[in-house]
Amino acid sequence: MTLDEYAKHMAKMYPVVWIDGVPWRATRRMLEPLAAPHTMKPVDRAKVRQAMRETRAVLARWNDAWDTAPGEWWWICCDDRQYDVERLSRNRRKTVRKGCRLNEVRLLDNLWFAENAFEVYAASYKRYDLGIDRVDREGFVKGALQAAECKGRETWGAFVDGKMIAYMSCLVVDDVVHVSSNKWDPDYGRVMPNDALEYTLTRHYLVERGVAYVTSGVRVLHHDTHTQDFDESMGYRRVYCPLRVELSPLAALAVGSGLGRWGPYAGLAKVMPSLFLRLRAASRLAAIARSRSSGAAPVKVSAAGETPGEADADDGPDAGAGS
């Protein structure tokens, strides 16, 4: 699937605008480029602010350099063209081999996935604290069917005794693979389904199909997670890049107020958990963008002037990583 095809598909569900030949998507009031991060060049902030006004976004996030010196912002990627179990640590080799022995991993038909994956999706939320959005069966199927219309959609499943217990859904755009969703039933953690899934698909794309890299997204800010530590143990690495952020006036006001820091003491985390998580993430993004180690210029305030909205419904099987 080409970038143009990807942008046309995304435009069916979200506002998509073009800045200097690059498509940007606005979802959950955040604007970010659809292009692969290693292709991004410096962007005129005035054009970003205009795109924010057009899409009613309150925050824009992007990078304009790639694989720089270590800093506070990164993508998690694997670009090892000789990717193999023997190149992993001793402990990870054991779990990968166990997972591959106990699980059957295969590429799924997208329509079959839409009709049969909700139980895994629902079971995966046993791992999450309150405040993480989810959808019901109807919403999940609808989202999965929309995702199935995208020619670059490829989803892998792990099965034990014929039962699917985990899946990873990917988007293949040009020569980059984006892992957009990973869910598993925690009751089956002992058989290492994620080790088998991630190893099998990563080796498939890098070694057999020769893509540039596989990525599971940017640094996670919304909630504590060990997922990216797991990725690194699976041969992925942090690809550092300077973070650029643009905020609307009201978003800048909320961030500047320190609400992300003292919100829990005022009960905001319990009253409006999703909104609080987003505010806290925006505060962290702004701080990272201001830091010297990010290589970024100070955060600018746009003239967009929109009020931050309540949390949208979960994107289901196409939920992005790192948001």
Q: How far is CA 215 from the centre of its chain?
A: 9
Given a cut of 60, is residue 299 above it in pLDDT?
no
CA dihedral 286, 291, 294, 300 (to 10 degrees): 40
Confidence class for position 129, pLDDT limits 50, 70, 90:
low
pLDDT for 105 beyond 70: yes
Domain limit, last residue, from 176, 209, 239: 239
Examine residue 259 and state whether it is found in any structural domain, yes or no: yes
Query: How far is residue 184's CA from residue 275's CA, in Å, rounded to a whole number?
Result: 26
314 vs 307 pLDDT, higher one: 314
Mean pLDDT (whole number) for 42-47: 94
Q: If you average pLDDT over residues 183-189, what whole number do you get?
A: 93
For the stretch 236-291, pLDDT in tens is 999 999 999 988 766 656 555 554 454 444 444 444 345 445 666 666 776 778 77
Cβ atoms of 255 and 59 closer than 8 Å: no
Mean pLDDT of the chain: 82
Using the predicted structure, report yes or no on whether residue 308 has a pLDDT greater than 80. Answer: no
Euclidean distance between CA atoms 113 and 111, whole angstroms: 5
Mean pLDDT within 197-201? 97
Q: Are residues 304 and 194 in the same domain?
A: no
- 91 with 226, same domain? yes
Distance from C-alpha of 207 to C-alpha of 47, rounded to nearest angstrom: 39
pLDDT of 268 reads 44
Residue 202: inside a domain, yes or no? yes
Q: How many domains does the chain have?
A: 2
Query: Residue 11 — very low, low, confident or very high, per pLDDT cuts 50/70/90?
Result: very high
pLDDT in tens, 141-182: 998 998 888 889 999 999 999 999 999 999 999 999 999 999
Task: Tell me what pLDDT residue 29 has.
Answer: 85
Percent residues over pLDDT 90 in the chain: 63
Counting residues of the chain whose pLDDT is more than 70, the rounded percentage is: 76
Specify whether 231 is located in the same domain as 82: yes
Pair (220, 91) in one structural domain: yes
Q: What does the pLDDT average to over 15-23?
A: 96
What separation, in Å, do the N-terminal and C-terminal C-alpha atoms of the chain show? 23
**Helix H segments across the chain?**
3-10, 45-55, 90-102, 110-116, 118-124, 137-148, 193-203, 227-233, 249-256, 259-262, 268-271, 273-290
What pLDDT is attached to residue 214?
A: 98
Q: Which of 239, 256, 283 delimits the end of a domain?
A: 239
Is residue 116 in a domain? yes
Domain endpoint, select from 214, 239, 264: 239
CA atoms within 13 A on the CB side of 244: 19
Which residue, chain included where needed, has tokens 């080790």? Answer: 195
Do 12 and 84 fall within a single domain?
Answer: no
In a domain, 106, yes or no: yes
Strands 30-33, 74-78: pairing is unpaired
- Per DSSP, the three-state class of 310 is coil
* Same domain assignment for residues 222 and 108: yes
Is there a single domain that holds both residue 83 and residue 216? yes
- Tell whether 182 and 296 lie within a shared domain: no
Q: Are residues 45 and 84 in the same domain?
A: no
**Residue 133 belongs to a domain with what CATH number?**
3.40.630.30
The answer to whether residues 248 and 129 belong to one domain is: no
Q: What would the DSSP string read from start to end of 10-61? A: HTTTS-EEEETTEEEEEETTEEEE-S-GGG-----HHHHHHHHHHHT-SEEE
Query: Do residue 166 and residue 254 come from a single domain?
Result: no
Within 10 angstroms of residue 194's Cβ, the number of other Cβ atoms is 25
| pLDDT 10s digits, 65-95 | 999 999 999 999 999 999 999 999 999 999 9
Q: Is the per-residue pLDDT at 316 higher than 80?
A: no
Q: Looking at the domain assignment, is residue 323 inside a domain?
A: no
- Chain mean position to CA 20: 24
Residue 229 lies in a domain: yes
pLDDT attached to residue 323: 32
Q: Are 298 and 117 spatial neighbours (Cβ–Cβ below 8 Å)?
A: no
Q: Where in the sequence is the domain holding 40, given as residue range(s)? A: 3-74+241-318
234 and 114 within one domain:
yes
What is the pLDDT at residue 258?
A: 53
Q: Does residue 55 sit within a domain?
A: yes
